[in-house]
Amino acid sequence: MLYVVTGPPAAGKSSWIQAHATARDIVIDLDLITRALSGPGAPAWNQDPAQLRVAHRARYAAMDEAYQLCHEVDVYLIHTMPNGRALARYKRLKARIVAVDPGREIVMQRIAAMRSPEMERVATRWYNARHKLPQPAMPQASRAW
């Protein structure tokens, strides 16, 4: 099964996966990939353009391979804001879309405390576009469809 986990930055997408995935599952998380490809001392939430570029390429390669394995193992993919083309592909793959959103106020507090200020813009874009994504039933909940 392919699980596509969406939500704004600092919503708890990685934590949701930690609570649901097993050691045998495949987890594709751009933050973890970037961290794995960064040198010693790089910040945990690394937004360096060169490192992100390499991490994105690694993520796409991992996604292409993992899609072939969805019938053998569970695959968890974090995709903050999938566009229409990506959503159509996920539908063809019979993915389960999970939206994680504890609410705008909590997300903005977490970003201020733990992330770079640029993530506020990403979160704002996510909330402005959220009518296109699966909606949690209520704040601090997640919903899958």
State pLDDT tens for residues 64-86.
Answer: 999 999 999 999 999 999 999 99
Question: What are the structural domain ranges in the chain?
Answer: 2-144
DSSP state of 81: S
Hey, what amino acid is at 13?
K
2-144, which class in CATH?
A: alpha beta
Query: Mean pLDDT for each 10-residue chunk of the chain (145 residues)?
Result: 95 96 96 90 78 94 95 96 93 95 95 88 90 48 44
Residue 12: how many other CB atoms lie within 10 Å: 20
pTM higher than 0.75: yes
Residue in 5, 20, 35, 24 with CA at minimum distance from that of residue 145 = 5
Q: What are phi and psi of 102, to 5 degrees?
A: -80, 0
Q: What are phi and psi of 29, to 5 degrees?
A: -130, 115
